Structure 1
Amino acid sequence: MEFYRDATWVLEYIEQQDSKGRISGSLQSLVLKSCQKYKLKTNPKHIYAVLDSCWKYKPFLEKVMSKSGILKDIPKKKGKPVYTRLTLLLLIHDLLLSKQKRIQMGKHPIKLFVLRYKSRLHSELVKLKLKAKVRDLSELVDTGDSSNDITPVRWFRINPLRCPDASAVMKELEKKFPQRVESWEGIVPGSIYHDEFIPYLFGIHPQDKITSHELYKQGRIIIQDRASCFPAHILNPTLEDKIIDACSAPGNKTTHVASYMFGNGLVDDVRIFAFEKDPERAKVLQKMIKVAGCSKQISVNVGDFTKLATPSKFPDVTGFIVDPSCSGSGIFGRKYIDSLNRQKKTQDIVDNGVPDEQEEMAEKENGNLQERLSKLSSFQFQVVKHAMSFPKAKRIVYSTCSIHAEENERVALDLLLDEKVKQWGWKIAKRESVIPQWPRRGFVSEFQEIFRDKTASECQEMADGCIRALPREDGGIGFFAICFERDI
């Protein structure tokens, strides 16, 4: 019963978020956040496994529940229902749609209550499928969204802070993955790819469980998507630098920066200042830094970077990583949330078949997206501009896990056109210092539209200073990165 109780709380949390409007984040992050919020003992992976299916079919299950009459017959105590709607939903999901077709608990009053309605629930499910003219409910949901919503490669990097001798780790990896492939597209279970763009980064098949290996448990390797490794590699800081990571949690980029600075030996003083606004995410950041082995070199500051970090307090900072909140349109798992946001549309299918309002709904979705992108890009602009105001800053890497130009090239353009930014002398770094071998660059059309007085080659040069990665097609998440630099 403990599992269903905990899963009910997670479902309630998701419903609360959904009631506020469109919700963002992956299903995994929502489950993890709610488990932390309620301090649940159940393994979040087990809850996720059930919710991934349960919410997908939620509108249909609620229809079946309503028609069966089970909701009207819930026993009451002191005038209040003994069982909640969402707990019943979870039990009925397992009874009707799970592989075992059974409720995973021992004898309990709520289980006996649901089983009394087993025949009626099955009958209503059959009627629903007949009405919709399908053999299985999966035909009524966009299964392509979830089935294709997994990364094609599991990326991880060697952490030199825990293992100065990388060759020893390499030998252990060779034992576990004896087959080396020449490109990430050739990865199969048991094989390994040595990345050509990021030093000591490797790709393996998602089915290979690297998290069970001692290298991972000891912090000698760190799981991090390849595109997420771009910012630290582009910034390429040394021991002479002092760096601010403006939006740090969960800490992969922060610790990756540390690996460049302290890979040849740790120092005793703080050289990296990490900022995180959310206290719970800051705890995750602290844990990540500890696991990576660089707690003494990184100062974690809980609060808004634009308010806590001022040029007067950090006059010697030379570089920035700025990876602020974004739409997350390039991250795997977001499509599940899109399905939550399309819940009304799915309910129309349950009630009326394919709705006539599909085009209207699509327009509404697009309108909501544009409004959200506008707000996000304004915030992103302010964060980067604030970083640009620091007197000794020479390089700033701005990145997002978004595929939208509004959050990427257009933020860069707004910064380049800002009078203060012009006075401070910031420009887009050229391709040769921004992973030049990476083939996919920024959208030149965005620069041509604004800088009509510049030549085609000048606009191309600015676009080439940007890096783009497409989700799945480039071996991982969708991503954007650009480096601003100046001479002081």
Structure 2
Amino acid sequence: MRLYFDAEKFLKHDDGSLQKRIFNDRKLTNPKHVFALVYSTTKYKEYIQQIIQKSKIQRDLKPKISNELLALLVHDLVFSPRGRIESGKHPIKEAVLAHKTRLQAEFIKLKLKYKVKSVDQLPTKENDDETPVRWFRINTVKIDPERFFKKHPFFATLQPVNRFQDLAEPGFIYADDYVPNLYGIHPKEKLSSTEAYTLGEVIIQDRASCFPAHILNHQREHAKVIDACAAPGNKTSHAASYSPADSGSVVYAVERDQKRVNILRTMSEKALGKSKKKLIQVLHNDFTKIDPQDFADVTGLIVDPSCSGSGIFGRASDEEESNDQRLEKLASFQVIIMKHALSFPGARKVVYSTCSIHAEENERVVIDLLSDQRVQDQGWRLASREEVLPTWPRRGLEPEFVALSRDAEVCKQLAGGCVRSNPKEDGGIGFFAACFVKEAKAGANRVEEEAEEAEGGEKLEDGEDGEDEEEWTGFG
């Protein structure tokens, strides 16, 4: 019964991405099994409750058990392909099995009602991993895009369409207008069975998740990059694909959890191959504990910290997801990790992103950073729309920026430095990204000041009149 007791708590407390919560729980001995059970039970929850109510077994059950535990047991007994409850003998298991005939009778009635022959034919609500489009990008670290379609004829046989909304059935392909070498196909295409996927020459990655690396490399490439919260590694390998053709280029992939570090290493090895294995260096560390001075040559950072996951399908409408106290706690951490990223002396661009739709984790984090005196003194500003996916139509929420300015035009420009993606509507998960940029001169001056502060001395004038520092406006 250990499996069901482990799974029970994830049904009781629905407070974030299911996948993240389960796979980050170090106490679980078999997180994959727990995830599969909870996910499927959630998927058929409505029908499971119907069967429990109509069979009236809760009235006769001894001992009494929670609604969540009963749902898990009924799922495995009636809705799973194996049709049995796992584990050995246990009083709770035996109590439920005593009512097996009643449960199966109600299940037969349910199938007749919906005119289906099997469980998977029952209509269900949208679930966490359902997507209207299967997005993949050509892994340019391993293969040239022009050679890709010649080498893999399956993709060349797909008919091109002009909009991802036209991917109504298998047999078509959409070349994305915003991210280079990114394509969309129908979810039923057998992408994971292709040779290209097996060789790591294509990487399955949601379109919005590709925004950070592309925004980071707008108009310039960064030889040294840090991905601050790197696991599982898709953003890391995408950032690596933009690295200059230089033996000194590297993406430092930082992850503090050992299990996720192992996943990160596996993903990175598959994405790079032996010839370019040094392009990504995995660091098992807490990003906030890293000394920025040790990475003075890093010019670009991607920060995609822990968030509510409210942009993931099926989560946006959850009442618990918008819990003010939880969002406040998450936002506080997000501000802390971003301030640390902005303190790297050589950094010229930092991209902040979340898979959240809540302003508390998105625009308001940006506002807190722009309002911080040290961030201002370091020379950071929010990038203009022209620097952040300029043709992408969905931008930040303008009303939120009233906290910084009453000028409607200023709010519009600030919101323009952010991008949003709505779940499903924009072809993938809900997402947010904002870009902070710092001019090289401002950064160099700040490095000098910090060095002088550390030595306890004062800055010496070089005999030339310097320009007055411009008043901070929050945007470029």
Matches within 5 A, 1:437-476: 437-452=391-406, 455-476=407-428
The reply to whether residue 153 of structure 1 matches residue 143 of structure 2 is no
Given residue 436 of structure 2, which amino acid in structure 1 is its aligned partner?
F
Task: Give the Cα separation in 2 of the matches to 1:322 and 1:92.
Answer: 42
Task: Give the Cα separation in 1 of the matches to 2:249 and 2:202.
Answer: 23
Task: Give the Cα separation in 1 of the matches to 2:182 and 2:137.
Answer: 4
Structure 1 counterpart of 2:308, from 327, 345, 350: 327
Matches within 5 A, 1:381-396: 381-396=335-350
TM-score w.r.t. structure 2 length? 0.77
C-alpha distance after superposition, 1:92-134 (max 9, x if no partner): 4355456x8x82699x98999976644444578899x9xxxx9
Shift of 1:330: 0.7
Given residue 238 of structure 2, which amino acid in structure 1 is its aligned partner?
H
Given residue 220 of structure 1, which amino acid in structure 2 is its aligned partner?
E
Structure 2 residue aligned with 1:14 = 7
Contact 1:54 1:90 in 2 (8 A): no
Structure 2 residue aligned with 1:3 = none
The reply to whether residue 303 of structure 1 matches residue 298 of structure 2 is no
C-alpha distance after superposition, 1:7-62 (max 9, x if no partner): x655432323456x553213x556666799425897x8965674344655565666
Contact 2:351 2:434 in 1 (8 A): yes
Contact 2:356 2:431 in 1 (8 A): yes
CA change 1:173–1:181 in 2 (3 A) is farther
Q: Alignment partner of 1:24: what SS?
A: coil
Contact 1:231 1:481 in 2 (8 A): yes
Structure 2 residue aligned with 1:244 = 226
Task: Give the Cα separation in 1 of the matches to 2:39 and 2:393.
Answer: 37
Structure 2 residue aligned with 1:200 = 181
Contact 2:22 2:31 in 1 (8 A): no
Shift of 1:202: 0.2
Matches within 5 A, 1:39-118: 39=30, 47=37, 50-53=40-43, 55=45, 64=55, 66-67=57-58, 69=60, 71=62, 92-93=74-75, 95-97=77-79, 103=83, 117-118=99-100
The reply to whether residue 260 of structure 1 matches residue 221 of structure 2 is no
The reply to whether residue 23 of structure 1 matches residue 15 of structure 2 is yes
Structure 2 counterpart of 1:288, from 264, 267, 270: 267
Identity of aligned residues (%): 44
CA change 1:284–1:400 in 2 (3 A) is same
Given residue 440 of structure 1, which amino acid in structure 2 is its aligned partner?
R
Given residue 146 of structure 1, which amino acid in structure 2 is its aligned partner?
E
C-alpha distance after superposition, 1:200-258 (max 9, x if no partner): 00000111120111101110000001111011001118665311111111111111000
Contact 1:71 1:85 in 2 (8 A): no
Task: Give the Cα separation in 2 of the matches to 1:48 and 1:219.
Answer: 30
Contact 1:68 1:124 in 2 (8 A): no
CA change 1:109–1:456 in 2 (3 A) is closer
C-alpha distance after superposition, 1:72-105 (max 9, x if no partner): 599xxxxxxxxx999986564355456x8x8269
Shift of 1:198: 0.5
Matches within 5 A, 1:104-183: 117-121=99-103, 145-146=125-126, 150-163=130-143, 165-172=144-151, 175-176=154-155, 177-183=157-163
Contact 1:248 1:276 in 2 (8 A): yes
Given residue 466 of structure 1, which amino acid in structure 2 is its aligned partner?
C
Given residue 9 of structure 2, which amino acid in structure 1 is its aligned partner?
Q
Q: Alignment partner of 1:261: what SS?
A: coil
The reply to whether residue 228 of structure 1 matches residue 219 of structure 2 is no
Given residue 195 of structure 1, which amino acid in structure 2 is its aligned partner?
D
Contact 1:270 1:299 in 2 (8 A): no
TM-score w.r.t. structure 1 length? 0.75
CA RMSD in angstroms comes to 3.9
Q: Which runs of 5+ in 2 are unaligned?
A: 117-122, 441-476
Q: Alignment partner of 1:38: what SS?
A: coil
Given residue 309 of structure 2, which amino acid in structure 1 is its aligned partner?
G
Q: Alignment partner of 1:247: what SS?
A: coil
Q: Alignment partner of 2:242: what SS?
A: helix
Contact 1:65 1:121 in 2 (8 A): no
- Aligned positions, number: 423
Task: Give the Cα separation in 2 of the matches to 1:422 and 1:183.
Answer: 41
CA change 1:171–1:34 in 2 (3 A) is farther
Task: Give the Cα separation in 2 of the matches to 1:45 and 1:191.
Answer: 32
C-alpha distance after superposition, 1:437-484 (max 9, x if no partner): 1111111111134312xx322221111111111111111111111110
Structure 2 residue aligned with 1:357 = none
Shift of 1:189: 1.1
Q: Which runs of 5+ in 1 are unaligned?
A: 1-7, 75-83, 339-361
CA change 1:390–1:29 in 2 (3 A) is closer
